[in-house]
Structure 1
Amino acid sequence: MLIFKIFTAEQWAQLEAAGLTHGAPVDLADGFIHFSTAGQARETAAKHFAGERGLVVAAVEAARLGDALRWEPSRGGALFPHLYRALRRDEVAWAAPLPLEADGHVFPDLGPDLGDRA
Protein backbone atom coordinates (compact mmCIF):
# COMPACT_ATOMS: atom_id res chain seq x y z
CA MET A 1 0.00 0.00 0.00
CA LEU A 2 1.31 3.41 -0.94
CA ILE A 3 1.09 6.31 1.50
CA PHE A 4 1.82 9.93 0.63
CA LYS A 5 3.75 12.89 1.98
CA ILE A 6 3.35 16.41 0.63
CA PHE A 7 6.51 18.50 0.60
CA THR A 8 7.17 22.13 -0.17
CA ALA A 9 9.78 22.63 -2.89
CA GLU A 10 12.34 23.61 -0.25
CA GLN A 11 11.61 20.55 1.90
CA TRP A 12 11.86 18.27 -1.13
CA ALA A 13 15.18 19.83 -2.16
CA GLN A 14 16.50 19.30 1.37
CA LEU A 15 15.47 15.63 1.30
CA GLU A 16 17.14 15.19 -2.09
CA ALA A 17 20.34 16.82 -0.85
CA ALA A 18 20.55 15.18 2.58
CA GLY A 19 19.12 11.78 1.70
CA LEU A 20 16.72 11.86 4.65
CA THR A 21 14.28 14.10 6.44
CA HIS A 22 12.74 14.38 9.88
CA GLY A 23 9.86 16.24 8.26
CA ALA A 24 8.34 19.69 8.15
CA PRO A 25 8.12 21.99 11.18
CA VAL A 26 4.71 20.50 12.09
CA ASP A 27 6.22 17.00 11.96
CA LEU A 28 9.09 18.04 14.22
CA ALA A 29 6.65 19.63 16.67
CA ASP A 30 4.40 16.54 16.73
CA GLY A 31 7.27 14.04 16.97
CA PHE A 32 6.42 12.10 13.81
CA ILE A 33 6.16 12.55 10.05
CA HIS A 34 2.58 12.97 8.84
CA PHE A 35 1.48 10.88 5.85
CA SER A 36 -1.88 10.43 4.12
CA THR A 37 -3.55 7.58 2.27
CA ALA A 38 -4.62 8.02 -1.35
CA GLY A 39 -8.11 8.92 -0.13
CA GLN A 40 -6.81 11.47 2.40
CA ALA A 41 -4.13 13.26 0.36
CA ARG A 42 -6.37 15.74 -1.48
CA GLU A 43 -8.02 16.90 1.74
CA THR A 44 -4.59 17.21 3.36
CA ALA A 45 -3.45 19.44 0.50
CA ALA A 46 -6.59 21.58 0.69
CA LYS A 47 -6.42 21.94 4.48
CA HIS A 48 -2.70 22.47 5.02
CA PHE A 49 -1.36 23.72 1.66
CA ALA A 50 -4.20 25.78 0.19
CA GLY A 51 -2.93 28.21 -2.45
CA GLU A 52 0.67 27.04 -2.09
CA ARG A 53 2.71 26.55 -5.26
CA GLY A 54 5.73 24.35 -5.84
CA LEU A 55 4.53 21.33 -3.90
CA VAL A 56 5.70 17.76 -4.43
CA VAL A 57 3.80 14.62 -3.49
CA ALA A 58 5.94 11.61 -2.63
CA ALA A 59 4.72 8.02 -2.54
CA VAL A 60 6.16 5.54 -0.06
CA GLU A 61 5.41 1.84 0.26
CA ALA A 62 4.04 1.54 3.81
CA ALA A 63 5.46 -1.95 4.30
CA ARG A 64 9.02 -0.61 3.84
CA LEU A 65 8.68 1.56 6.95
CA GLY A 66 8.34 -1.31 9.41
CA ASP A 67 7.25 -0.87 13.01
CA ALA A 68 8.09 2.85 12.96
CA LEU A 69 4.87 3.43 10.98
CA ARG A 70 1.78 3.69 13.18
CA TRP A 71 -1.85 4.23 12.19
CA GLU A 72 -3.38 6.77 14.55
CA PRO A 73 -6.66 8.71 14.70
CA SER A 74 -6.61 12.25 13.37
CA ARG A 75 -9.08 14.31 11.29
CA GLY A 76 -12.58 13.16 12.09
CA GLY A 77 -11.26 10.06 13.84
CA ALA A 78 -9.84 8.59 10.62
CA LEU A 79 -6.63 6.62 10.94
CA PHE A 80 -3.60 8.34 9.41
CA PRO A 81 -0.12 6.89 8.89
CA HIS A 82 2.53 8.48 11.11
CA LEU A 83 6.25 7.69 10.80
CA TYR A 84 8.22 7.78 14.06
CA ARG A 85 11.67 8.07 12.53
CA ALA A 86 13.40 9.87 9.68
CA LEU A 87 12.29 9.14 6.13
CA ARG A 88 15.10 8.13 3.78
CA ARG A 89 15.09 9.29 0.16
CA ASP A 90 15.59 5.72 -1.03
CA GLU A 91 12.25 4.79 0.60
CA VAL A 92 10.37 7.12 -1.78
CA ALA A 93 8.88 5.01 -4.58
CA TRP A 94 8.08 8.04 -6.74
CA ALA A 95 7.49 11.76 -6.50
CA ALA A 96 5.55 14.17 -8.69
CA PRO A 97 4.79 17.89 -8.74
CA LEU A 98 1.41 19.14 -7.48
CA PRO A 99 0.49 21.96 -9.85
CA LEU A 100 -1.92 24.54 -8.47
CA GLU A 101 -4.96 25.45 -10.56
CA ALA A 102 -7.95 27.68 -9.79
CA ASP A 103 -9.84 24.88 -8.01
CA GLY A 104 -6.86 23.43 -6.10
CA HIS A 105 -3.90 21.14 -6.54
CA VAL A 106 -3.84 18.67 -9.41
CA PHE A 107 -2.76 15.23 -8.22
CA PRO A 108 -1.29 12.44 -10.30
CA ASP A 109 -3.00 9.06 -10.13
CA LEU A 110 -2.35 7.91 -6.56
CA GLY A 111 -3.65 4.43 -7.19
CA PRO A 112 -6.48 2.76 -5.31
CA ASP A 113 -7.56 4.02 -1.94
CA LEU A 114 -7.14 0.95 0.22
CA GLY A 115 -8.55 2.75 3.24
CA ASP A 116 -7.19 3.00 6.72
CA ARG A 117 -5.00 0.26 8.09
CA ALA A 118 -4.68 -0.42 11.77
Structure 2
Amino acid sequence: MLIYHIVLPDDWAAFDTDLYFAKSLESEGFIHCSFSEQLNTVIGRYYSGEPEVVVLELDTDSLMSRVVNEPSTANEIYPHVYGPINRDAIVSVKRLRVR
Protein backbone atom coordinates (compact mmCIF):
# COMPACT_ATOMS: atom_id res chain seq x y z
CA MET A 1 0.00 0.00 0.00
CA LEU A 2 1.17 3.54 -0.68
CA ILE A 3 0.90 6.36 1.85
CA TYR A 4 2.22 9.92 1.75
CA HIS A 5 4.21 12.16 4.07
CA ILE A 6 4.35 15.92 3.53
CA VAL A 7 7.53 17.75 4.51
CA LEU A 8 8.85 21.28 4.06
CA PRO A 9 11.63 21.64 1.48
CA ASP A 10 14.27 22.80 4.00
CA ASP A 11 13.54 19.86 6.30
CA TRP A 12 13.77 17.45 3.37
CA ALA A 13 17.05 19.00 2.18
CA ALA A 14 18.56 18.26 5.61
CA PHE A 15 17.83 14.52 5.23
CA ASP A 16 21.15 12.86 4.47
CA THR A 17 21.03 9.52 6.28
CA ASP A 18 19.30 6.19 5.68
CA LEU A 19 16.56 7.06 8.19
CA TYR A 20 14.24 10.08 8.11
CA PHE A 21 13.05 11.41 11.47
CA ALA A 22 10.17 13.90 11.19
CA LYS A 23 9.82 16.44 14.01
CA SER A 24 6.50 14.87 15.03
CA LEU A 25 8.22 11.57 15.79
CA GLU A 26 9.89 13.19 18.80
CA SER A 27 7.00 15.44 19.84
CA GLU A 28 4.08 13.05 19.24
CA GLY A 29 5.68 9.62 18.92
CA PHE A 30 4.75 9.06 15.27
CA ILE A 31 5.08 10.54 11.78
CA HIS A 32 1.90 11.93 10.24
CA CYS A 33 1.00 10.49 6.84
CA SER A 34 -1.99 10.57 4.51
CA PHE A 35 -3.75 8.44 1.97
CA SER A 36 -3.69 9.84 -1.58
CA GLU A 37 -7.26 11.16 -1.39
CA GLN A 38 -6.37 13.18 1.74
CA LEU A 39 -3.33 15.00 0.33
CA ASN A 40 -5.08 18.13 -0.96
CA THR A 41 -7.03 18.56 2.27
CA VAL A 42 -3.93 18.17 4.45
CA ILE A 43 -1.86 20.54 2.31
CA GLY A 44 -4.65 23.14 2.38
CA ARG A 45 -5.22 22.78 6.12
CA TYR A 46 -1.62 22.76 7.36
CA TYR A 47 0.59 24.19 4.60
CA SER A 48 -1.48 26.97 3.00
CA GLY A 49 1.08 29.60 4.03
CA GLU A 50 3.98 27.74 2.42
CA PRO A 51 5.06 28.33 -1.18
CA GLU A 52 6.05 24.70 -1.70
CA VAL A 53 5.99 21.28 -0.03
CA VAL A 54 7.68 17.96 -0.69
CA VAL A 55 5.49 14.86 -0.84
CA LEU A 56 7.12 11.52 -0.07
CA GLU A 57 5.37 8.48 -1.49
CA LEU A 58 5.99 5.55 0.87
CA ASP A 59 5.56 1.83 0.33
CA THR A 60 4.20 0.45 3.60
CA ASP A 61 5.48 -3.04 2.78
CA SER A 62 9.04 -1.66 2.71
CA LEU A 63 8.82 0.45 5.88
CA MET A 64 10.81 -0.90 8.82
CA SER A 65 8.56 0.99 11.26
CA ARG A 66 4.99 -0.07 11.90
CA VAL A 67 2.07 1.83 10.37
CA VAL A 68 -1.17 2.24 12.30
CA ASN A 69 -4.35 3.71 10.79
CA GLU A 70 -5.85 5.92 13.50
CA PRO A 71 -8.63 8.50 13.80
CA SER A 72 -7.68 12.16 13.85
CA THR A 73 -9.38 14.85 15.90
CA ALA A 74 -11.85 15.26 13.00
CA ASN A 75 -12.53 11.49 13.23
CA GLU A 76 -10.93 10.80 9.85
CA ILE A 77 -8.58 7.82 9.60
CA TYR A 78 -4.93 8.64 8.85
CA PRO A 79 -1.85 6.41 8.67
CA HIS A 80 0.75 7.08 11.37
CA VAL A 81 4.29 5.71 11.15
CA TYR A 82 5.64 4.73 14.58
CA GLY A 83 9.34 5.13 13.94
CA PRO A 84 11.69 6.59 11.35
CA ILE A 85 11.15 6.26 7.61
CA ASN A 86 13.86 4.17 5.97
CA ARG A 87 15.14 5.59 2.68
CA ASP A 88 14.40 2.45 0.66
CA ALA A 89 10.68 2.71 1.53
CA ILE A 90 10.48 6.05 -0.31
CA VAL A 91 9.06 5.29 -3.76
CA SER A 92 9.04 8.86 -5.06
CA VAL A 93 9.69 12.45 -4.00
CA LYS A 94 7.60 15.23 -5.54
CA ARG A 95 7.80 18.96 -5.03
CA LEU A 96 4.42 20.68 -5.15
CA ARG A 97 3.57 24.35 -5.24
CA VAL A 98 0.93 25.25 -2.67
CA ARG A 99 -1.98 27.18 -4.16
Scaled by the length of structure 2, the TM-score of the pair is 0.88
Amino acid at match of 1:22: F
SS of 2:58's partner is strand
The partner residue of 1:82 within 66, 80, 85 is 80
Offset, 1:41:
1.1
Task: Determine the structure 2 residue equivalent to 1:96.
Answer: 94
Unaligned runs of 5+ in 1: 105-118
Amino acid at match of 1:37: F
Once the two structures are superposed, what CA deviation does each residue of 1:73-102 show, in whole Å capped at 9, x if it has no partner?
1142121100111111221000111113xx
Q: Summarize the alignment of residues 33-112 of structure 1 with structure 2, pairs less than 5 Å apart.
A: 33-65=31-63, 68-100=66-98, 104=99
**More helix, by proportion:** 1
Larger Rg: 1
Unaligned runs of 5+ in 2: none
Higher relative contact order (CA 8 A, sep 6+): 2
Report % sequence identity.
27
Q: Are the aligned partners of 2:25 and 2:82 in contact in 1 as well (CA < 8 Å)? A: no
Task: Determine the structure 2 residue equivalent to 1:19.
Answer: 18
Equivalent pairs counted in the alignment come to 99
Offset, 1:72:
0.6
- CA 1:67 to 1:56, structure 2 compared with 1: closer, same or farther past 3 Å? closer
Scaled by the length of structure 1, the TM-score of the pair is 0.75
Tell me which stretches of 4 or more aligned residues in structure 1 moved more than 6 Å.
Answer: none
Distance (whole Å) between structure 1 residues aligned to residue 76 and residue 88 of structure 2: 28
